[in-house]
Chains A and B, each alone.
Chain A
Amino acid sequence: MISKKLIVTNKFGVHARPAGMIVDITGKSKSEITIIFDGQKANAKSILNVMMLAIPPGSEVQFDIKGEDENEIMEQLEKLFNENFHEESY
């Protein structure tokens, strides 16, 4: 299993659209993927679970990935976070 912390740097946090972009990546994977924010764990393949975490801008979130493509998926998530979900940064 690999685990990494990423920072949410877009202006409005993880609302429906960014959550959808996360699930776009995680949904394709065969690995088990957990997103952890503020002590709460959620299934990162479910857009609703990700949205319900209500992650505000500036937060640190952790991804735990376990499976064959763990490195590849983590890389894609990192890229998405670094690109601010293609939104304005805060």
Chain B
Amino acid sequence: MKTSTKNRIKAKERIVLVGVPASPGYAMGLCHTVSTREVSITEENIPEERVATEEQYFLKILNTTTKEINQIKQVTVEKLGTEEARIFEAHLMILKDPTLVNGVLSLIQKEKKSAQWAVHFYVSSLIKQFESHTSALMKERSIDLKDLYHRLMDAFDDTGTVIIDESIKEGVILVAHELNPSTLISLNKDQVLAFATDSGGRTSHVSILARSMELPAVSGLKNVSALVRLGDNLIVDGTGGMIIINPNEADIKKYQEKLEVFKRQQRELFTMRQLEPITRDGKYVTLHANIELVSETDKVLDYGATGVGLYRSEFLFFRKGLPSFEEQVEAYSYILDNLAPHAVTIRTLDVGGDKLISEISLSNEANPFMGWRSIRVCLDHLELFRTQLKALLVANKKGNLRLLLPMISSMEELLSSKEQVKNVIHELEQEGFDCPKVELGVMIEVPAAVILADKLAKEVDFFSIGSNDLIQFTLAVDRTNEKISSMFQPHHPAVLNMIHKTVTAAHREGIPVSVCGEMASDPLSSLLLVGLGVDELSMTPWSIMECKKIIRSINFEEVREIARNVLKMNDTDTINAYLKKKYAQTIIDLGIFSYISNSDFCEISDSPLQQL
């Protein structure tokens, strides 16, 4: 990255730049710029007698780079664990890859190129191939190869990768055009307080690493590396996604306070695990975790959930060949046994729509979301359905299973499914197997189920609202369609009335209602759901502590009143504005990152920004 002086700001000029909040937290310190060199290597032809020397040189470079990555890998294992270190495992493999080694060697031997040019040419062309992919995901993946490229080029230059002067004692803020995962991991956290980059997004590898290292970061700042000078004062606001160059006294005071609050909140969030999810006026809201993999079982209690609100069993089926009865029993038992006596809700096979499995041939349908999917597939493939039911019932040794039927759109479907459950229980009892109690519930995700909720409620033990599908079907909006995805509105009055109707019908029969879609983990929506009388919220494990914090800060009577008012409103914008007015500040004061980092925040953040 070239930095031209004419773009630079005047000395000590105060500038606020807004970017992407890559990793939450605040930091203040002196700026330390790092330039990722624009490597220019000239094509060099070598005489025959130098070929052997260049070959040796190349192998030596491979060796040095391998050693270096091994060191970084070691540090990563210590700091972040083996899973995070796997990326460096991949880097090491690339260095050993015969395709790479032979490709470069042949450029040296046959084309008579210098080792450095051969490596430059070969690896750059691989990067270009990656970047030519149409998928953005694959383009982003070229960063791994770029990382290796820079590392190899550095080895040629013999400059090493030490980018921070060892003599720097005070913490600095790193500013760069782009940072590589390996650079980030090799940073000394006492020296580097935070970083800011021109490029990158929230999901890039560097941002994910920064979050797991708890290093505040703002990326996507476009030209920050050209604007700042070495030694400028900087404030990095990784929570709000902005930086202040040469802050004034008021900024510094304000951010010192924010930093204090942030540190306190971090400590609190952790202690939150032991606390009960009770509102200030004593209403208990059950918090459950959504899991997709058996291996996530341990996370459930670790993150402070008191059970599983949704285990999507279809992930066992995404493979070639259906899982056997024994394999299913093993998987379900693992979750049920490990979490007993806590409730574990397991949803029966929900295939079709966007999830396809190879074994059941699902043809290309014009409208897969409204097609042959879910319970419809199960009731047409009774063997498949009964095998799963039997495995579930056998695994339910401790009686903590809650069986959840997806996509129910009619009474007949529910009754036929119940009939199957009853038959399987009967069969098992005939075989001398003692079946402990099992709770049966239905997903409320089709408008028909909402309309029939009072009838369905008489036949089941609980309801679980699948908010994503319910919104999609109620509003007739496919959110994967970019042209209309903004119409996918969880706070649309029709959606909220659907939820209200479902809760009313359930409570009349004395059964609980859970919400297990994305709505449950959105802070504003979760408040509204509690106000609407929803008894349980189920979400990804890492959202639980934040949600618990919100619940502990509110009054049930107050959110009930708010929900009553919202139900009287006619349009989404009015509802959103009302909710924000009532609760946005509370949520910001609580330091809820998931909220602050989502796009809604921009509207709210205007005010603190203007105050600066």
Q: Which residues on A are within 8 Å of B, measured CB to CB?
A: 4-7, 9, 12-13, 15-17, 19-21, 23-24, 27, 43, 46-49, 51-52, 54, 56, 58, 60, 78, 81-84, 86, 88-89
- Contact of B358 with A56 in the complex, beta carbons under 8 Å: no
Chain A residues whose C-beta falls within 8 Å of the C-beta of B133 in the assembled complex:
54
B129 CB–A CB distance under 8 Å: yes
Interface residues of B in 108-146 (CB under 8 A from A): 126, 129-130, 133, 135, 137-138, 141, 144
Specify the chain A residue showing the minimal Cβ separation from B133.
A54
Residues in B with CB closer than 8 Å to A9 are 315, 318-319
In the assembled complex, the Cα of A78 lies from the Cα of B321 at a distance in Å of 10
Q: Do the beta carbons of A86 and B135 come within 8 Å of each other?
A: no
Which residue on chain A has the smallest CB distance to residue B123?
A: A48
Q: Report the minimum CB–CB distance from A43 to chain B (whole Å).
A: 8
User: Which A residues are in CB contact (< 8 Å) with B94?
Assistant: 16, 47-48, 51
Evaluate contact between B93 and A6: CB separation under 8 angstroms. Answer: no
Q: Which residues of B contact A (CB under 8 A)?
A: 83, 86-87, 89-91, 93-94, 97-100, 126, 129-130, 133, 135, 137-138, 141, 144, 292-293, 295, 315, 318-320, 356-358
Contacts A52-B126, A84-B293; is A78 near B320 (CB within 8 Å)? yes
**In the A-B complex, the 8 residue pairs with the closest CB atoms:** A20-B90, A16-B90, A16-B144, A9-B318, A47-B93, A15-B141, A54-B138, A46-B99
A17 partner, pick from B90, B99, B295, B315, beta carbons under 8 A: B90
Choose from A15, A27, A46, A88 the contact partner of B144 (Cβ within 8 Å).
A15
The contact of B137 among A19, A56, A81, A84, by CB within 8 Å, is A56
Min distance, Cβ B87 to any Cβ of chain A, angstroms: 5
On chain B, the residues within 8 Å of A48 by CB distance are 94, 97, 99-100, 126
Residue contacts A-B, CB under 8 angstroms, 9 given:
A7-B318, A9-B315, A16-B90, A16-B91, A20-B86, A24-B89, A46-B98, A47-B94, A88-B292
Please tell me if the beta carbons of B320 and A54 are within 8 angstroms of each other in the complex. no
* A21 nearest CB neighbor, chain B only: B86
On whether the beta carbons of B318 and A12 are closer than 8 Å, the reply is no
What's the nearest-Cβ distance from chain B to residue A28, in Å? 12
Contact B93 A83 (CB under 8 A): no
Query: Distance in Å from the Cβ of A13 to the closest Cβ of chain B?
Result: 6
Query: Which chain B residue lies CB-closest to A52?
Result: B129
Residues of B within 8 A of A88 (CB): 292
Report which residue of A16, A27, A56, A58 has the largest number of chain B beta carbons within 10 angstroms of its beta carbon.
A16
Knowing A16-B87, A47-B93, A78-B320 are in contact, say whether A89-B141 is a contact too (CB < 8 A). Answer: no
Give the chain A neighbours of B356 by CB distance below 8 A: 58
How far is A13 from B130 in the complex, measured between Cα atoms in Å? 14
Task: List 9 other contacts, CB 8 Å, given A83-B293, A89-B293.
Answer: A7-B318, A15-B144, A16-B90, A17-B89, A19-B90, A23-B93, A48-B126, A88-B292, A89-B292
Distance from B287 Cβ to chain A, minimum over Cβ atoms (Å): 20
> When chains A and B are docked, how far (Å) is the Cα of A49 from the Cα of B97?
9
Known pairs A17-B87, A17-B90, A60-B358; A7 contacts B292 (CB<8 A): no
Contact flag A46-B97 (CB < 8 Å), given A5-B358, A16-B141, A56-B135: yes
The residue in chain B whose Cβ has the minimal distance to the Cβ of A86 is B83
Contact call A49/B99, Cβ cutoff below 8 A: yes
Cβ distance B459 to chain A, nearest Cβ, rounded Å:
32
Choice from A7, A16, A24 contacting B358 with Cβ under 8 Å: A7
In angstroms, Cα B90 to Cα A21, docked, is: 8
- Distance between Cα atoms of A43 and B126 in the complex (Å): 16
Q: Are A56 and B90 in contact (CB under 8 A)?
A: no
Q: With CB as the reference atom, state the residue of chain B lying closest to A49.
A: B99
